[in-house]
Each structure stands twice: as structure tokens, then as C-alpha cells.
Amino acid sequence: MKKLIIIGAGGFGREVLAWAKQSHEHGREWTIKGFLDDNPDAVAGKNVTAPVLGKPSEYQPTPEDVFVCAIGTPAAKQAVQESLAAKGGVFINIVHPTAVLGENVQLGAGVILCPQVVVTVNAVIGDGVALNLQTIVGHDAVIGKWCQISPHCDILGYAQLGDGVFMGSHAVVLPSVKIGANAILGAGAIASRDIPTGSTAVGIPAKPR
Ligand SMILES: CC(C)(COP(=O)(O)OP(=O)(O)OC[C@H]1O[C@@H](n2cnc3c(N)ncnc32)[C@H](O)[C@@H]1OP(=O)(O)O)[C@@H](O)C(=O)NCCC(=O)NCCS
């Protein structure tokens, strides 16, 4: 039986712990080992049974360990996942039992699908992507590595997100629209035209600030 380590013991990390404990693999393929976080008191007062085991940068993976990263900032998530993977850490996917996957969906390593996420058909989801509650990914969409997609987002057919994109809650990418790498789409934004790399875009229609 493997042991799951969740990197990041903040709010999203505690949510991912809850979703992991409800997933089909819990108790069958792995049990919970704990969190890695720079703050040893990250879960103090939160009534969380999983301990903080140490800092991600100082942790040496053991053969029983498997990992998932629950850090909400794409750049930090990438740095931590790549550094632990370089030390031999194996990243697995956490797929909540209420998530729905259609056909021909490709998932990278270290992907998190929260409750009621739907990914339809022929979509590609890169390493380290988190799709938060009730997000929808349409047919043939491509989501680059390390993207952090907040609750209630819609990424519609043939949309493309570069690596490291952050979408705020209720943001929408219309069909075939491209979001450049490391762009931020603000909460409630609707991207009806391509958004440049590294920009922050808000509003309807979404415009870079
Ligand atoms: C877009 C965003 C990243 C900008 O953050 P920021 O750079 O700190 O921006 P500020 O809060 O300083 O706001 C700057 C201006 O943009 C406006 N603004 C901020 N977010 C906006 C949004 N989503 N839509 C429209 N306008 C927005 C603010 O009202 C402010 O306007 P003002 O100068 O006229 O007062 C952030 O507001 C956002 O939408 N984050 C998403 C949060 C979220 O959904 N998290 C999910 C967690 S699960």
C-alpha cells in the first residue's frame, strides 16, 4: 500500500485531503501519510488528522510515497513538483468519484479533479493541473501544465490554455480561444478573443489590464 503526501497544507490542501479520502483509490492503492508545507503549524486549529511532515524542499521521497501538489500558484506548483520528481517522487492523480470523464481524455501526472468536474471528450490535461469544483472542460480542449482552474469555470471546445494559466472563479474561455502561458483570467471574465502570454485579463469581454 502506497502513502499519499499532499504538498501544501493551506485551504486548497485541506480540500484535496478531503477529496482524496473520498476517492476510490483511498484504502485500496494508498492511504494518507500527511502534508509537506514550509509552515509546520499550517493545519493548527483546523481539526485535521494528517500531520505536516516537513518542508517540500527538504523532503526525501521514499519508495512507498506518492505525491500530489495542492499549491494554488502555478509557478510555485511547478517548482515543487519538478524538484520532488527530480528526487524520484512519483506524482499521482486525485480524481473525485463525482468527477465525470468522457472518452479519449489524456491526464498528465499530478492532476487534481475536484467534485463535479466534467471533462468531455478528446481533451488533454497537462501535468500538475487542478480543476476545482464544478469546472467544465469541453471537447478537444487543451490545458497546459500547472494550470490552476478555480471553481465553476468553463473551458469550451477547442480552447487552448498555455502552461501556468490561472483562471479565477466563474471565468469562461469561449470555443477555440487561446490563453497564453502564465496568463491570469480574473474571476467572472469571459475570454472571447485570445489573451496574450503573461497578461492579467478581466471583464466581459476579457481585456488585458
Ligand atoms: C484578477 C485578479 C487576479 C486581480 O488581482 P489584483 O491584481 O490583486 O487586483 P486588485 O484587487 O488590486 O484590483 C485591481 C482593480 O481590478 C478590479 N478587478 C479585480 N478583479 C477583477 C475581476 N475579476 N473582474 C473585474 N475587475 C476586477 C478591481 O475592482 C480593481 O479596480 P479599481 O482599480 O477600479 O478599484 C483578482 O482580482 C481575481 O479575479 N482573482 C481570482 C480569485 C479567485 O477566483 N480565486 C479562486 C480561489 S479558489
pLDDT at 49 over 90: no
pLDDT tens-place string over residues 105-137: 999 999 999 999 999 999 999 999 999 999 999
Place of cell 489573451: 195
pLDDT band (50, 70, 90) for residue 187: very high
Fold of 2-92: Rossmann fold (3.40.50)
In order of 46, 112, 119, 164, the CA distances from 42 in angstroms are 9, 21, 32, 25
Percent of the chain, pLDDT > 70?
100
Residue nearest to atom 37 of ligand 1 (CA): 186
* pTM of the predicted model as reported, rounded to 2 decimal places: 0.98
189 CA distance to ligand 1 centroid (A)? 10
Residue nearest to atom 4 of ligand 1 (CA): 186
Domain ranges of the chain: 2-92, 94-199
In order of 4, 57, 90, 108, 183, the CA distances from 62 in angstroms are 11, 14, 10, 22, 35
Please check whether residue 162 is in contact with residue 182, taking contact to mean a CB–CB distance below 8 angstroms: yes
Residue nearest to atom 2 of ligand 1 (CA): 186
Q: What is the CATH code of the structural domain delimited by 94-199?
A: 2.160.10.10
144 CA distance to ligand 1 centroid (A)? 23
pLDDT tens-place string over residues 5-28: 999 999 999 999 999 999 999 999
pLDDT band (50, 70, 90) for residue 80: very high
Question: DSSP per residue over 99-128, as a string?
Answer: -EE-SS-EE-SS-EE-TT-EE-SS-EE-TT
Cα 42 to its chain centre, rounded Å, is 20
200 CA distance to ligand 1 centroid (A)? 9
pLDDT band (50, 70, 90) for residue 63: very high
97 CA distance to ligand 1 centroid (A)? 32
Best mutation site among 167, 170, 202, 207 for ligand 1, i.e. most ligand atoms within 8 A of its Cβ?
202
pLDDT tens-place string over residues 152-166: 999 999 999 999 999
